[in-house]
Chains A and B, each alone.
Chain A
């Protein structure tokens, strides 16, 4: 049975003994020369099976990108543009803002092209992602249960709509442990863009929920301190900070001598780690030394907090052993103005997404890094306010790459109007199950007891999508 204190003690010992593992040592670890591939630093040890991926970069497109303008081309819908949506599709289905409104077909606003040797079909707005079409797998048969943003984010992140369940990043770090002593195992980044209706994203989305809070995601900020409270107080330099922490730890050791309380040792270890984080985070965030051509590839300007900069930062985090990296783009809620906004959003994500995947590949990290691209739901084939689409849960698209995903394939399909996933449907829990599988974890076996339930990321369902595994 799961015992929080016991676990904390183990982990504390581990981080205490494990200090001094540098970037170079880590890099060799990442490459996994001759080690037992099932050994884990987390609770699932050994892993349930040989892992393909060691980390995840989740490019989260909040607001709900239109599948019909990105990955799912529907010529029939184009033909029926302006006509009444056949009731056979919509009868008895959940509808968000279009409740009680006339439902008309709304053809795709942009053309599609076939890209690469694989001939994968994507929007013409994605020439860069198109250029790596042979590296990615497109899933066109996603569905979810929740039609409003907040609960839909919650189920996509935690597998449940009840607040207080661990997020996927927390589960992954819980199961696999961290590969870095100086950075959090789960990092969340927010992107600023030419933002319109930027989605509010609650801290619940990266919370550890019922798991110990050390597994929670840590949000890195592009404005202010990169990590909350990471800067020394005004007037205290690194040397004095170090002296102060040394004094605190020395005093705590005096206490430990008297009480032999292992919790004090944990506290000491956490202060040491805090100082290491303070020392390593500024270097991590400082992208000024990245070569100009790399910055160009991503379209990143250091310090601008853009999705592009965050993609580059994601690579730097991956190199440093961060287990789960989640980047939010928050501006896909196109109830209106979709024709005007899609090109802007495509500009913001197309180049950096492609650059990240290419960069990971060049550095030999793509094989061990699962990259996921998608939002909390898709958008209706019906029009809203003349030039928009409403929330849609019955069918939408995801893109995956690396980490044991079969490259250059498309999987699943929606019906001819892009309404419902009809071929090889994939649920949110299916994505979670597949992600965990690639990381060496059987989603049914990683559970935590809470209120009498064996809580797991995939609730009581979820199936590994075996057809997209390499």
Chain B
């Protein structure tokens, strides 16, 4: 509709003026003719091609001439489009009927000589002449271009916006955050002629600006924290996000920025930072689904790279040529596969493991110098200790061990706890003879059963974030060397089938104490060694962490394919002697940072062996409780005389030798330190180059096809050639993308910048500058911006030029006649109004309330989100665990990007999932958005904290307080009407909360930030509803 009006606007002139191929004819042909008479050879009908002039003038096989310049009556296309019978073109079945006006245009164009023009986007970029000034409202050449066009339409630009609006606009646009009340006051007072420019420079230099620009770029390059397909597990990516942040902070020239992402790994003497940048090539979705066909997925990954690269830098839909030649643009299927060949050197597998030692393919570790030194020291010490240990002779013999094993001495003795309690409100049940339901995986199938499991402790009821289980038991008279903790799997447990939440189970500390009887005081017991029987040990969750007195570290398992129960064996510092009356107390502490990484079901054991190995083979409740043999399977077979390799037995004998215990413990301690350190060192997926794989044209995109031509890397043929005489690389591609010869990149990029600051691009098709895309409303302006940008690839300078123009600074207020003539505001006789992006919706509430925690970069954070939101995920089953403390109040750009289930409040405000490259976020206005702003606890907490500030900092009277709040949130004073409305709400709320203090208490409990004790709950609750109303205003989330 908007386009139609524009066309009519333009058309008023065109009916008399000469018809332009690019402006009028190409759009018609692209929409209605090229599908069958365009570049795609496979789809071409009647041997007739209209996208090239020489072809269109040639007589076809059937003897007609499509176009005879200057003679519409002899031209077949005119004849056919004007036909009223079945001969009409486009044919009826295409549902692409031409309007009378379109038919007239085609006729006139042929009559005028049928002159073709090269497609605007493919012609070299030249800086056009700046038109003469059309008014005095000119701040830089942008205004000359905009106003020249306005003058043509007999329109004029709007006056500059008021300073308050202007400051808010430019601050939101450049930083994604609102100006503070102080910044507003200062700007209003500053009468210097360059006050605005100085403000722009201040904003551009702030890290907040980098965060804002990075957010837009991350959409384009489909940055995400998870792999996307099937289990959608988290991958190490955030250092790459930080690289993007720093690039914008340092205003890295766009050519370098491009080169490093596409081919940072190929740069001579590539730095770590440049290698991190190459993670761009690894941001495609990947799958770890069993049974996938590698070639199929390798084809998917490569196609994703071609789509993304051609979309982001070339504004081209080359991805459409995967199965056939492009229907509308001169891209062939060969071009698609030649582009794909640039990426054929990337080492990768079709199935990209999401766990285990080969997880995520090539990664780069990024230790700090300190971590590096620490690591070297630990590795050296560990080697030393291991060497000593290997050289030492065990104090027990294999024969002795065999004897003890045969006597059953090594077996773990399951304990029947007397009682078990939680210190944080969970319910712990010690099972006796009554049966319990259980479900677990056994040999690839899920088994459900109901059976008795005496001694099993099961947690139920409330699931606190952290919990300590206190278990007492009477072992009876005996001597004991070790305590065993077995964590039992159950399918119903949301955290990797073992924890009550989270994506992991984590025992942070295990403590024990002994008392001679039930009433006597307890004597603490120490542990010297912790050993675990994980199938898939996780370096960051080592066994020794359960006895290292550090409440932050712990043992357990995370996102992994454990199909067996977990077992932790803890060696007592000294042998324990118990009588029949002795009571042993065991404390299982769960103090992990991730919430609810708390054991769901467990059993306890004691051993009197020298020394028992953790049980490794129990599955669910399947096995007899005493099956844990106390020996690793490999040692057992050694003992039976099986197995060539005797090393397991030798190692075990040393493990069991008391005199060697100091060495054994030291080795375990160092291994644990190394594991914890490695887990703390940031890692990121990067590109690793290898011998290029053969790239074939897959006919019809069929990955099974092995008969297509083999192609070498090449840019689309009609755009030129790179690296002749040798195989071109990704670096050649990157160099060409940012070369003067490429007409697309600069146009594409400045067009997207324009969209950021006006709501719509100069052409609104941000991802398609081809013939199906919209012709720019201001082609010369676009070229002027592109030419300027290419000079130094200075992103910040381009932004500065745009936001200091009058076009940007003008008021957004419309007039009815202007609305009627230019409803889409494409001619820019005024600024536009549009909603801020999803991240800013969140950031605004946090900033206004004062909750916002500003810190640049770092691992992704997890704001609270509704319970069970991830319930539809599996492999593994997992639960969400919100970040702790100030972390959860950081900006939206840092939110953990879960592709298959993006945080629901971001999703509601149109944040893309980043499964694919996104260049044009939609901006919708839905009831779900209202529900988020009204009811999401994050926004309620923001309202409550905002209210606290209003009451403590905003003055004494309600009108004063409201003025203060409005300045903070909207940078203006409330009107009398607004004051009246909010006074009404405040009074009604106050009455209600005075009458029902419990309701006030409930409301104020929302969120984890501290509620000050000096405020009356009813006052705070009432002001919270007022603050909430302000945070729900359309104006707050609208950039004007």
Contacts and interface: CB of A to CB of B under 8 A. Distances in A.
Interface in A1-40: 1, 3-6, 8, 12
Q: Top 3 closest A-B pairs, CB basis?
A: A452-B772, A235-B1003, A235-B1002
Given A12-B925, A162-B916, A197 B1034 contact: no
Contacts of A271: 927, 930, 934, 1032
A224 to B, nearest CB: 4
Interface string B226-248: 00111110000000000000000
7 contacts: A1-B1, A5-B2, A214-B924, A227-B931, A235-B1021, A236-B1025, A453-B772
Interface stretch (A254-262, A306-314, A394-402, A421-429): A254-262
A340 B445 contact: yes
Given A200-B873, A247-B982, A251-B982, A453 B320 contact: yes
B868 A231 contact: no
Q: Is the interface of A mostly helix, strand, loop or mixed?
A: loop
A240 B935 contact: no
B981 A6 contact: no
A163 B913 contact: yes
A213 B1029 contact: no
A113 interface: no
B752 to A, nearest CB: 15
B930 A270 contact: yes
Contacts, number: 267
Contacts of A210: 922
Contacts of A149: 230, 289
A285 interface: no
A228 interface: yes
B899 interface: yes
Contacts of B291: 96-99, 147-148, 390-391
Contacts of A244: 934, 985, 1025, 1028-1029, 1032
Contacts of B739: none
B1000 A251 contact: no
B133 interface: no
Interface string A313-350: 00000000000000010100001110011000000000
Interface of A: 1, 3-6, 8, 12, 92, 94-99, 147-151, 161-164, 190, 194-204, 207, 210, 212-214, 218, 221, 223-225, 227-237, 239-241, 243-245, 247-248, 250-252, 254-255, 259-261, 263-264, 266-267, 270-271, 273-274, 277-278, 328, 330, 335-337, 340-341, 385, 390-391, 444-445, 449, 451-453
B931 A240 contact: no
Contacts of B3: 1, 3
A6 B935 contact: no
A93 to B, nearest CB: 9
Contacts of B1034: 252, 255, 263-264, 267
Contact of A229 (B936, B984, B1035): B936
Given A200-B875, A236-B1025, 12 more contacts: A6-B823, A12-B925, A99-B291, A147-B293, A213-B910, A229-B866, A229-B935, A233-B1003, A235-B1005, A247-B981, A251-B982, A452-B328
Given A223-B871, A245-B934, A247-B1029, A94 B292 contact: no
A197 B291 CA distance: 15
Interface string B910-944: 10010110100010111111111011110010000
B1029 A248 contact: yes
A3 B4 CA distance: 11
Q: Is the interface of B mostly helix, strand, loop or mixed?
A: loop
B866 A235 contact: no
Given A245-B934, A247-B985, A274-B930, A452 B900 contact: no
Contact of B1025 (A95, A200, A240, A336): A240
Interface string B654-696: 0000000000000000000000000000000000000000000
Nearest to B901: A203
Interface stretch (B185-193, B763-771, B776-784): B763-771
B867 interface: yes
Interface in B999-1040: 999-1006, 1021, 1025, 1028-1029, 1032-1035, 1038
Given A201-B872, A236-B1003, A250-B981, A97 B915 contact: no
A150 B289 contact: yes
Given A229-B936, A254-B977, A273 B999 contact: no
A277 B1002 contact: no
A408 to B, nearest CB: 34
B999 A237 contact: yes
B1003 A200 contact: no
A198 to B, nearest CB: 5
A254 B981 contact: yes
B772 A277 contact: no
A164 B916 contact: yes
B978 A229 contact: no
B773 interface: yes
Most buried by B among A163, A204, A207, A391: A163
Nearest to B2: A3
Q: What is the size category of the interface that chain B forms with chain A?
A: 35 or more
Contacts of A240: 988-989, 992, 1025
Contacts of B797: none
Contacts of B329: 452
Most buried by A among B231, B874, B926: B926
Contacts of B704: 92, 94
B317 interface: yes
Contact of B984 (A198, A247, A252, A254): A247
B767 A259 contact: no
Contacts of B293: 94-96, 99, 147
B160 interface: no
Nearest to A236: B1003
B882 interface: no
Contacts of B772: 449, 451-453
Contacts of A445: 95
A444 B814 contact: no
A263 B926 CA distance: 11
A181 B101 CA distance: 40
Contacts of B908: 213
A213 B922 contact: yes
Given A6-B2, A244-B985, A263 B445 contact: no
Nearest to B1001: A235
A247 B966 CA distance: 15
Interface in B303-318: 311, 317
B381 interface: no
A336 B930 contact: no
Contacts of B397: none
Interface string B799-833: 00000000000000110000000011000000001
Contact of B926 (A197, A214, A231, A328): A214
Contacts of A190: 871-872
A255 B978 CA distance: 10
B153 to A, nearest CB: 20
B95 A444 contact: yes
A229 B1000 contact: no
B368 interface: no
A175 B915 CA distance: 25
B443 interface: yes
B983 to A, nearest CB: 10
A110 B311 CA distance: 52
Contacts of A264: 1034
B276 to A, nearest CB: 25
B444 interface: yes
Nearest to B873: A200
Contact of B915 (A164, A199, A247, A335): A164
B287 interface: yes
A251 B866 contact: no
A92 B928 CA distance: 48
B904 A198 contact: no
A449 B31 CA distance: 10
B922 A243 contact: no
Nearest to A449: B772
